[in-house]
A and B are shown apart, each in its own frame.
Chain A
Amino acid sequence: MTETRTFTDMEQIITTSSRLMDGDKLYFTAIGGPPLVAVLLAKRLRAPELAYIVEDGTIAPQVSLPAPPFLIAASGASYRAAAWADMNTVSFHAGLGYIDYGVLAAVQVDEYGNFNSTFVGPAYERPARRFGGPGGANEIASLCWRTILMTRQQGRKFVKKLDFMSSPGFLDGSAGARERAGLPADTGPWRVVTEMAVFDFDEETRRIRLKALAPWATVDDVIAEMEFEPMIGPSLESIEVPSEEELSVLRAEVDTTGRTVRGCWITVELDGENARLVEQETSAEGA
Chain B
Amino acid sequence: MTVVAEGTGAFLAPDPDAHRRYIRDHKEKGLVSKVMSEHEAIERFVEDGDYVAYDCNLWVRGPAALMREIIRQKKRELWIAAKFTAHDATMLVAAGCVNRIDVGWMEVGRVITEAQLEGRVELHEWSNGAMTYRLLAGSLGLPFLPLRYLGGTDVFNTSGTKLIDDPYSGKPICVVPALNPDVGLVHVNQCDEFGNARVFGAGISPVETAMAAKKVILSTEEIIDSDELRRHPQQTRIPYYAVDAVVHAPFGGYPGTVPGLYKADIEHLMESGAAQMQGKMDEYLEKWVFSVSSHEEMLGTHVGQEKLDVLKAEETIKEGYYE
Contact = CB atoms under 8 A, between A and B. Distances in A.
Interface of A: 31, 54-58, 69-70, 72-76, 78-81, 84-88, 91, 95, 114, 118, 124-127, 129-139, 142-143, 162, 164-168, 171, 177-184
B148 A168 contact: no
Given A57-B202, A87-B128, A88-B132, A75 B148 contact: no
Interface residues of B, number: 62
Nearest to B112: A130
B174 A182 contact: yes
B154 interface: yes
Given A78-B259, A165-B154, A165-B155, 20 more contacts: A55-B129, A56-B202, A70-B264, A73-B59, A73-B60, A85-B202, A95-B148, A118-B103, A127-B117, A132-B107, A133-B127, A134-B105, A136-B84, A136-B128, A137-B127, A138-B129, A168-B152, A171-B153, A181-B163, A183-B151
B3 to A, nearest CB: 12
A199 to B, nearest CB: 20
Contacts of B229: none
Contacts of B264: 70, 73-74
Given A86-B206, A91-B133, A133 B152 contact: no
B11 interface: no
A73 B269 contact: yes
A86 B201 CA distance: 9
A56 B203 contact: yes
Nearest to B150: A138
Contacts of B127: 133-139, 166
A86 B263 contact: no
B132 A138 contact: no
Given A74-B263, A127-B113, A142-B148, A134 B205 contact: no
Interface of B: 59-60, 82-84, 103-108, 112-113, 116-117, 122-123, 125-130, 132-133, 136, 148-156, 158, 163, 171-174, 201-208, 256-257, 259-260, 263-264, 266, 269, 315, 317, 319-321
Contacts of B202: 54, 56-58, 78, 81, 84-86
Contacts of A79: 317
A232 B304 CA distance: 61
Contact of B105 (A74, A127, A132): A132
A86 B108 contact: no
Contacts of B117: 126-127
9 contacts: A73-B60, A84-B320, A86-B132, A87-B83, A133-B125, A134-B103, A138-B153, A143-B148, A182-B174
